């Protein structure tokens, strides 16, 4: 199910909230938790029941292995841990990387192995990563394995199930078990509605409109200078509003159930370096990669050259995690390369004026998003050719025609035009929950955002990060 859909907003969410708080009248909290698990699994299996088998199998195997790790010592614990890594990497490897791997073997060795064209199960990267991180924590003795139902709720809790934020067992379970959080809390519920409304607006009204230029431009050849830049900037803004909108909704939904989900975006396009960008963009992924890749490699403890190497590898993994294609590998590698350069020349960069650094960072991120969005290097090359071929000023008219909608093109143009001077400051409208003030102004703001977004729901789309 998708947050920005009629069925979620008009049926699923109201029913789940009402039943959940009705169940709070029963003294034993078990029923509430079981209901939340059932609702989350229904949410996950809504479009394809077969996915339910996959996630349930993944949860069951990981739980058994986690218990095995906890109850064993020495080599036996290590064996369970390695089995866990093998299982999760194998699962994601099969569903996400099989065709990429086989396709490359075919290309290099001239073999003819058949590609399976496997449909990527919803959110598999997220729930696999989350469970893998849990196994690591149990192996290190940082976490204790609770009951199966608690673990199941930790993995399947619907607000963060399919596209994060990536949460830790230690930050979720104490909240689920906190008796005070079982009952309806108007402050949290209001904050939840506020965040959800803003997120919905960002996704349905802004991101999906920006998609008109991005989708049209990436499907065209011979893009002129203006058309190519409009295409890339539209996508740069689209992916931000899409993913941060999703995260705002997830955090808002968590709030409605008195659960604090960590913030995932903090005005990333105001960053003055690529390093800072990754501290502000998809924060929970950065945290997970830092904990489970960068630091185990040695982090910054083994001198500058090794630090640079570790940073580069971490970003390479990040690229591969985002998608099974060489475009993602290059995208991750280039981000890694910029971070390394920034680390080496840190002091020199700090002398550059703040605004110049922010603009340069935005430009670099924008140029690299082209690789991220393109289906292949050829498509990326078409957009780059337009962006840096200063002699060709044509193509804008064709781009507008390709969107099939003059009205959407117009709104799109306005969005892009006003972003830099106006929306840049507001590009992370979602405040921390503590910033929420239940006043008349915020009620009007939330209601207007919600209604504008609701009007856009008839053009149903999916979230970009559902593909990862």
444 interacts with another protein by CB under 8 A: yes
Catalytic member of 117, 282, 322, 397: 322
> Cβ 159 to another protein, closest distance in Å?
19
Quote the least distance from Cβ 190 to another protein, whole Å: 5
Q: Which residues contact 200 (CB under 8 A, 6 or more apart)?
A: 3, 4, 9, 245, 249, 449, 450, 453, 454
| Distance (Å, whole) CA 167 – CA 137 | 13
What part of residues 373-412 is at the interface with another protein (CB under 8 A)? 405, 407-408, 411
For another protein, the binding residue among 154, 419, 454, 463 (CB under 8 A) is: 454
* Residue 11 C-beta: closest distance to another protein, Å: 10
* Chain centre to alpha carbon of residue 269: 16
Residue 121 burial (10 A CB sphere; 0-12, 13-18, 19+): buried
CB of 468 to another protein, least distance (A): 25
What the block records as the tokens of 183 is 């009952």
From 30-38, 129-137, 315-323, 447-455, give the range in contact with another protein by CB under 8 A: 447-455
- Up-side HSE of residue 65: CA atoms within 13 Å toward CB? 25
- The residue range among 17-25, 102-110, 164-172, 188-196 that interacts with another protein, by the rule CB under 8 A, is 188-196
Between 20 and 281, name the residue whose CB sits nearer to another protein: 20
Q: Does 80 bind another protein (CB under 8 A)?
A: no
State in angstroms the smallest separation of the CB of 214 from another protein.
18
- Give the 3-state secondary structure of residue 135: helix
Strands (E), 140-267: none
430 binding another protein? (CB under 8 A): no
User: Nearest distance from residue 263's CB to another protein, in Å?
Assistant: 21
Q: Is 351 in the site for another protein (CB under 8 A)?
A: no
Query: What interhelical angle do 225-256 and 186-200 show, nearest 10?
Result: 160
Tokens of 318: 């990040």
Smaller CB separation from another protein, 143 or 242:
242
Distance (Å, rounded) from C-alpha 418 to C-alpha 304? 41
Instruction: By CB under 8 A, name the one of 28, 111, 434, 458 that touches another protein.
Output: 458
Comparing CB distances to another protein, the nearer of 116 and 459 is: 459
Question: Residue 448 interacts with another protein (CB under 8 A)?
Answer: yes
Cβ 110 vs Cβ 88: under 8 Å: no
Question: 137: which 2 tokens?
Answer: 């924590």
Residue 334, exposed/middle/buried by CB under 10 A (0-12, 13-18, 19+)? middle
Nearest residue (CB) to another protein, 16 versus 283? 16
Clarify whether 397 is annotated catalytic: no
Distance CA 44, CA 233 (A): 32
| Candidate residues 189, 292, 312, 377; the one interacting with another protein per rule CB under 8 A | 189
Q: How far is the CB of 119 from another protein (least distance, A)?
A: 14
Q: 153 and 103 in contact (C-beta within 8 Å)?
A: no
* Binding-site size, another protein (CB under 8 A): 27
Give ∠ CA 203-207-210 in degrees, rounded to 5. 165
| Binding residues for another protein (CB under 8 A) | 6, 186-187, 189-190, 193, 405, 407-408, 411, 438-440, 442-444, 446-448, 450-451, 454-459
Catalytic residue ranges: 322
């Amino acid at each position: 199910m998708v947050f920005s859909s009629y069925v979620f907003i008009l049926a699923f969410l109201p029913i789940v909230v009402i039943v959940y708080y009705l169940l709070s009248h029963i003294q034993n909290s078990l029923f509430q938790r079981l209901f939340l698990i059932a609702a989350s699994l229904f949410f996950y299996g809504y479009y394809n029941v077969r996915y339910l088998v996959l996630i349930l199998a993944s949860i069951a195997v990981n739980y058994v292995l986690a218990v095995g790790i906890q109850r064993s010592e020495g080599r036996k614990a290590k064996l369970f841990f390695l089995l866990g890594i093998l299982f999760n990497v194998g699962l994601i490897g099969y569903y996400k990387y099989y065709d990429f791997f086989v396709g490359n073997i075919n290309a290099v060795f001239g073999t003819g192995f058949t590609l399976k064209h496997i449909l990527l199960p919803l959110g598999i990267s997220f729930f696999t990563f989350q469970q893998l991180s849990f196994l690591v924590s149990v192996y290190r003795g940082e976490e204790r394995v609770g009951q199966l139902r608690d673990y199941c709720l930790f993995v399947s809790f619907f607000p963060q199930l399919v596209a994060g934020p990536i949460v830790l067992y230690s930050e979720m379970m104490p909240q689920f078990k906190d008796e005070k959080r079982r009952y309806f809390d108007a402050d949290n519920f209001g904050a939840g509605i506020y965040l959800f409304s803003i997120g919905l607006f960002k996704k349905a009204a802004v991101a999906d409109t920006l998609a008109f230029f991005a989708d049209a431009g990436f499907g065209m050849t011979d893009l002129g200078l203006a058309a190519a830049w409009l295409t890339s900037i539209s996508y740069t803004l689209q992916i931000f509003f899409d993913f941060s909108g999703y995260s705002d909704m997830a955090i808002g939904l968590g709030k409605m159930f008195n659960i604090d989900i960590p913030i995932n975006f903090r005005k990333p396009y105001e960053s003055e370096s690529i390093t800072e960008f990754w501290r502000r963009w998809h924060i929970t992924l950065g945290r997970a990669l830092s904990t489970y890749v960068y630091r185990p490699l040695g982090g910054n403890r083994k001198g500058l050259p090794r630090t640079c190497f570790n940073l580069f590898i971490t970003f390479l993994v990040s690229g591969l995690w985002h998608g099974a294609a060489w475009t993602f590998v290059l995208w991750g590698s280039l981000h890694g390369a910029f971070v390394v350069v920034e680390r080496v020349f840190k002091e020199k960069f700090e002398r550059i004026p703040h605004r110049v650094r922010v603009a340069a960072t935005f430009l670099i991120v924008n140029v690299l998003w082209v690789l991220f969005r393109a289906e292949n290097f050829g498509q990326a090359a078409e957009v780059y050719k337009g962006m840096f071929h200063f002699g060709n000023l044509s193509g804008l008219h064709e781009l507008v025609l390709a969107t099939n909608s003059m009205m959407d093109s117009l709104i799109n143009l306005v969005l892009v035009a006003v972003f830099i001077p106006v929306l840049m400051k507001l590009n992370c409208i979602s405040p921390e929950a503590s910033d929420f003030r239940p006043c008349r102004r915020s009620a009007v703001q939330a209601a207007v955002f919600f209604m504008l977004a609701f009007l856009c729901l008839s053009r149903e789309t999916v979230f970009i990060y559902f593909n990862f």
